[in-house]
Structure 1
Amino acid sequence: MRTSLMVLAVGLSLSLAAQAQQIFRSTDAQGNVVFTDNPEQGGEEVELTPLTVVPSRGEVRAESQPRVQSGASVTSSPGQPFMPYDSFRLLSPSHEQGIPVGQGGNVQVELGIEPELREDHRVRLLVDGQVSQSEMHTTVFMVANMNPGEHVLQAELLDATGEVRHRTSPVTIYVQRANVNRPSSSG
């Protein structure tokens, strides 16, 4: 009992001492504003307002947080919850973009992911609905020697267990290739 009263008395005296602090504002010879707790240096007293305290987002109750999927637990690795990305999209090439003849059917695909891709997450690229590039920890893919014509690109974001968590909107591109017309051999 005595210890708790002692702790209470010390805590109360410290809080009163903190509230009793006075701050004074003055200007030195070079014109700089100086704040001090020493009233002997002159200056005017500054009225201190209470600090604004904003609770962190970590204090939000678990029931009020949005769920990524309904049903079973959503985790990307043991002990770490899957955190959804704010943005997962194809930046380049743009929708309905033509890929010029000079690129020879080679297309660089760039993804925009916000926040940055986590260490344990991977991305894979689909061309015309088929996996073109296996899952990798990257935001840039190179697709080589694409056939001329229309193609649909899409990317999938996979968590640590290999489950698809996000999918970009499909982007249609048109690959242009040079055709060499040879005269028929009429012999």
Structure 2
Amino acid sequence: MANQTAGRRGQWLWAVLLGGALLIGAPPLAAQTVYRVVDEQGRVTFTDNPERGGEAVVLAPLPGVSSSPSAVSPPASQPSGKRSPGPPFMPYDRFTIAYPAHQARLNSATTAVEIALSPALRDDHQLRLRLNGEINQSAMHSDAFWVANLPAGVHQLQAELLDAQGRVRHQTPVVRFHVAP
């Protein structure tokens, strides 16, 4: 048990160091080979050691998904095409709505919403909720929300992951649920 805990701490430490290097402006990882390794328990780690095996991964910034036209245009201080891509965006292995479940029937007009996110939400990222296509919850650094005053009927819920610049980088699949009258 102690060896397992120490092994997890070592993997966690490696992930924190890798993330820290990305945040402080280390040389871009896209210029290096990184290997994604999945152990017997399904845990994912990244390494620069090819002897550990795994799948070679090239990390590169992902294009943003914008919900507002102003977020698409480049800043006025930098001409289009000359912007720096910034640090690589590390995607999440899991990003889904854990509760309410898809096709759930709720007996209350108020419900908790829980987001399953792995690895944990980065300090510079936020989540927000869309209910029936409209922003329902402002972006927050939280994976749990409350939705209140839901009218009876079928509703659609989706979570969005925003980066440090407020750009939408990921969206969960839509969860449909029913609120009983």
Question: Which bracket does the TM-score occupy, shorter chain normalised?
Answer: 0.5 to 0.7
1:84 to 1:145, Cα distance in 2 relative to 1, 3 A: same
Gap runs ≥5 in structure 2: 1-34, 36-45, 51-55, 64-80
Partner residue of 2:158?
Answer: 154
The answer on 1:116 being equivalent to 2:120 is: yes
Question: Do the aligned partners of 1:91 and 1:112 also contact (CA within 8 Å) in 2?
Answer: yes
Question: Do the aligned partners of 2:155 and 2:177 also contact (CA within 8 Å) in 1?
Answer: yes
Which of structures 1 and 2 has the bigger CA Rg? Answer: 1
Q: Give a deviation string over 1:80-113, Cα, whole Å, max 9, x none.
A: 432111110000000010001xx2x001110000
The answer on 1:173 being equivalent to 2:177 is: yes
The answer on 1:65 being equivalent to 2:58 is: yes
Alignment-mate amino acid for residue 58 of structure 1 = D
Partner residue of 2:134?
Answer: 130
1:158 to 1:91, Cα distance in 2 relative to 1, 3 A: same
The answer on 1:99 being equivalent to 2:136 is: no
CA distance in 2, matches of 1:73, 1:173: 42
Question: Do the aligned partners of 2:152 and 2:178 also contact (CA within 8 Å) in 1?
Answer: yes
Question: Do the aligned partners of 2:60 and 2:88 also contact (CA within 8 Å) in 1?
Answer: no
CA distance in 2, matches of 1:74, 1:166: 18
Alignment-mate amino acid for residue 90 of structure 2 = M
Identity of aligned residues (%): 40
Normalised by the size of structure 2, how large is the TM-score?
Answer: 0.57
CA distance in 2, matches of 1:96, 1:170: 11
Secondary structure of 1:81 counterpart: coil
Give 1:139 shift: 0.4
Q: Give a deviation string over 1:44-103, Cα, whole Å, max 9, x none.
A: xxxxxxxxxxx972368xx9514453697654xxxx432111110000000010001xx2
Gap runs ≥5 in structure 1: 1-54, 178-187
CA distance in 2, matches of 1:114, 1:74: 24
Normalised by the size of structure 1, how large is the TM-score?
Answer: 0.55
Aligned length: 114
- Aligned counterpart for 2:146 among listed residues 142, 162, 167: 142
Question: Do the aligned partners of 2:123 and 2:141 also contact (CA within 8 Å) in 1?
Answer: yes
RMSD: 2.5
